[in-house]
Amino acid sequence: MIRVEWDRKFEVGHERIDFEHKIFLGLIRQASLLPETDTPRERVLRHLDEVKKYALFHFTSEENIMFDVAYPDVDKHSREHAVLLALLDERTHQYKNGDILLDNIVSFLFEWFALHTTQVDTKLAKYIARDQDSRV
């Protein structure tokens, strides 16, 4: 079982985004702590639905921030969000059919989160910080 924990390297330096990331990661952590054999599949699926809905909310919120600051990479960044949602749907479906374990979904989500926050969201936060600096 993968250990899902918040790390300072995930901080992007934007208060709202970091706040939402902590909740998102908290949901992934909660999934990692669900006992695979003792948790009814239906309950796991309800949790995965919560993860998906929060991801959708958080991505919308991040994309709105991008629009507000006229972020040049908004399309590319938003595509990454859409891909995550599609892959999560696919994996949830596989889990439902008993083709993969919850553990696989947790690893997938945590790896995506780590990569996306440190590489993609960090760029956005830096752009916003620069944008604010130039207005002062």
What is the DSSP secondary-structure string of 46-88? HHHHHHHHHHHHHHHHHHHHHHHTT-TTHHHHHHHHHHHHHHH
Q: Smaller CB distance to Fe ion: residue 1 or 82?
A: 82
The total number of residues written for the chain in this structure? 136
20 binds Fe ion (CB under 5 A): no
Please identify which residue in 88, 106, 121, 122 interacts with Fe ion, judged by CB under 5 A.
121
Q: Smaller CB distance to Fe ion: residue 73 or 103?
A: 73
Shortest separation between residue 77's beta carbon and Fe ion, angstroms: 6
Site for Fe ion in 43-102 (CB under 5 A): 62
Nearest to 114 by CA among 2, 18, 25: 25
In the complex, the residues that contact Fe ion under the rule CB under 5 A are 62, 121
